[in-house]
Amino acid sequence: MRGVVYDGKQVQVVHDLEVREPGPGEVLVRVVAAGLCHSDLAVIDGTIPFPAPVVLGHEGAGVVEAVGPGVTHVAEGDHVALSTLANCGACADCDRGRPTMCRKAIGMPKQPFSRSGTGQPLYQFASNSSFAERTVVKAVQAVKIPSDIPLTSAALMGCGVLTGVGAVLNRAKVDRGETVVVIGTGGIGLNVLQGARIAGALTIVAVDTNPAKEEVARRFGATHFLNSAESVRDILPTGADHVFECVGHVGLVRQAIDLLDRHGQAILLGMTAPTAEASFPPAAMFLDKSILGCRYGSSRPQKDIALYADLYREGRLLLDELVTATYPVEEFAKAAEDAEQGKVARGVLTF
């Protein structure tokens, strides 16, 4: 089968992948569509250290082909969106409704893939590897969705929507009438914008250096659009209740903190290099300000993806509009180039 493999030096689309059958508590999924997220590119450029060779992809949707013993919530033929959270469901954090904090969910990559003929094992990225025609995931990662949701759109619920909308609703807990600034309007930033709109924020300021992004930012919920954070206080003189940094630049982290009103929160979503450091004046924090990290939108995928599917069907959550372009998996290089150049909100690979 086809898949996108990074061997530690280069990326290639191969046609000789194999994946094992699902074991107890696992699901085999035929992937139909997978969003290309910057986290996949971050593995390639070394920002996210990950063992190689690895099958990339972590934002996908498809159809269940088989289930292992003990799986009852999905069955063959069901449409599913895939999350990256291979959480155990039994630890203290899972029991408290915090699956993103499960210590068994990260740091222990498995090797369910191999190359036919050689038997070479390949790692699974983010417990997912949706850039393959088929993948095996833990049952908890397969979330059943209505079959009338296009799978090219549903794929984006597995990362971009969970992270962006979840950061607003679950982590920052934005309330009605509050003010929000979103720095960076890529795939994550757009979902933060619509999360703020859904939450009922009154003023939602999008900041991006690319003026061509204004139209789509406003469509997703921005009430204002700026090309520089320097002008935010012209709109919000006392600062914002919530500032989301969605780029992953330490200078913008400092700007996010500087733009906070009293009791404001800076939520960090952009992925910086592991050794990058940001600085800020601690004295400013004594006005009850907070800096919040956020992993995967502090999400509970089985609950949240079902909610987002309902919001989409009601017309309140935009999914189709996130898909700027689709590419057959063989055109991965083109999709990656478009993503790196900021030409797409989200490019989606199809099988």
Distance CA 203, CA 117 (A): 58
Token look-up 């619920």 returns 157
Contact 132, 57 (CB under 8 A): yes
CA 274 to chain centroid, in Å, comes to: 18
Decide: residue 237, CB within 10 A, 0-12 exposed, 13-18 middle, 19+ buried: exposed
Identify the pLDDT of residue 38: 87
Token look-up 């969910």 returns 105
**Encoding tokens for residue 130?**
């949706």
Q: Which backbone phi and psi does 189 adopt, to 5 degrees?
A: -60, -40
* End-to-end alpha carbon distance in the chain: 10
Show Cβ contacts of residue 28 under 8 Å, excluding neighbours closer than 6 positions. 19, 21, 22, 64, 65, 66, 67, 134, 135, 136
With the C-alpha atoms ordered 31, 32, 36, 37, is the resulting torsion angle positive or negative? negative
pLDDT in tens, 177-224: 999 999 999 999 999 999 999 999 999 999 999 999 999 999 999 999
Max Cα-Cα span within the chain: 65
Mean pLDDT of each 10-residue bin along the chain, 351 residues long: 96 97 97 95 91 97 98 98 94 94 85 92 97 97 97 96 98 98 96 98 97 96 97 98 96 96 97 87 92 96 97 97 96 95 91 95
Q: What angle do CA 136, 21, 139 make, to 5 degrees?
A: 40
Identify the pLDDT of residue 256: 97
Decide: residue 158, CB within 10 A, 0-12 exposed, 13-18 middle, 19+ buried: buried
pLDDT in tens, 68-85: 999 999 999 999 999 999
Identify the pLDDT of residue 162: 97
